[in-house]
Amino acid sequence: MPDQPAIVATDLVRDFPRPRTSLLTPAPVVHALRGVSLEVKQGERFGIVGESGCGKSTLLRLIAALDRPTSGQIVVEGTDITNLPERRLRFLRENLQLVFQDPMSSLDPRMRVRDIIAEPLVVQGHPASGARVRELLDAVGLPANAGERYPHQFSGGQRQRISIARALAPRPRILIADEPVSALDVSVRAQVLNLISDLVDELDLTLVFVSHDLSVVKHVCDRVAVMNAGQIVETGPTADVYAAPQHAYTQRLVSAIPTLQRALSGATTADLLSHPAAPSKGAPA
Partner 1 sequence: MSAVAAPDDVLSVRGLNVTVRDTVLVADVDLTVGPGERVGLIGESGSGKSLTALSILGLLPDDVVADGSIRLAGVGPDLVGTDEKTLSRIRGRDLAMVFQEPMTALNPTMRIGDQIAEVMLIHQTRSGRAAARAAAAELLERVQLPPDLLRAYPHQLSGGQRQRVVLAIALANDPALLICDEPTTALDVTVQALVLDLIVSGVRERSSALLFITHDLAVVATVCDRVLVMYGGRVVESGPITTLFTTPRHRYTQGLLAASNLEPHDAPTASDFADGAYPDSGSGDVAPSSRTRSRRLTTIPGTVPAAGHFPSGCVFRNRCAHATDVCATTPPWTGTATHGYACHHPAGAQDA
Tell me which residues in 161-200 interact with partner 1 (CB under 8 A): 185-195, 197-199
Residue 115 to residue 217: CA distance in whole angstroms = 31
Using CB under 8 A as the binding rule, whether residue 128 contacts partner 1 is answered as: no
CB of 134 to partner 1, least distance (A): 12
- Which amino acid does the sequence have at 52? S
Query: Residue 197 or residue 231: which is nearer to partner 1 going by CB?
Result: 197
- With CB under 8 A as the contact rule, the residue among 19, 26, 125, 282 that binds partner 1 is 282
Using CB under 8 A as the binding rule, whether residue 41 contacts partner 1 is answered as: no
Using CB under 8 A as the binding rule, whether residue 216 contacts partner 1 is answered as: yes
Using CB under 8 A as the binding rule, whether residue 227 contacts partner 1 is answered as: no
CB of 69 to partner 1, least distance (A): 25
CB of 215 to partner 1, least distance (A): 5
Which strands, in side-by-side order, build the sheet including 71-76? 29-40, 7-17, 71-76, 79-80
Using CB under 8 A as the binding rule, whether residue 24 contacts partner 1 is answered as: no
Using CB under 8 A as the binding rule, whether residue 111 contacts partner 1 is answered as: no
Using CB under 8 A as the binding rule, whether residue 105 contacts partner 1 is answered as: no
User: Which window, 21-29, 33-41, 98-106, 251-259, contacts partner 1 (CB under 8 A)?
Assistant: 251-259
Using CB under 8 A as the binding rule, whether residue 141 contacts partner 1 is answered as: yes
Using CB under 8 A as the binding rule, whether residue 3 contacts partner 1 is answered as: no
Query: Residue 96 or residue 184: which is nearer to partner 1 going by CB?
Result: 184
Query: Residue 10 or residue 197: which is nearer to partner 1 going by CB?
Result: 197
Using CB under 8 A as the binding rule, whether residue 131 contacts partner 1 is answered as: no
Using CB under 8 A as the binding rule, whether residue 269 contacts partner 1 is answered as: yes
CB of 216 to partner 1, least distance (A): 6
Which strands, in side-by-side order, build the sheet including 96-99? 96-99, 174-178, 206-211, 45-49, 223-228, 231-237
Using CB under 8 A as the binding rule, whether residue 270 contacts partner 1 is answered as: yes
Binding site for partner 1 (CB under 8 A): 51-52, 138-142, 155-158, 185-195, 197-199, 201-202, 212-216, 218-220, 252-253, 255-264, 267-270, 272-273, 277, 280, 282-285
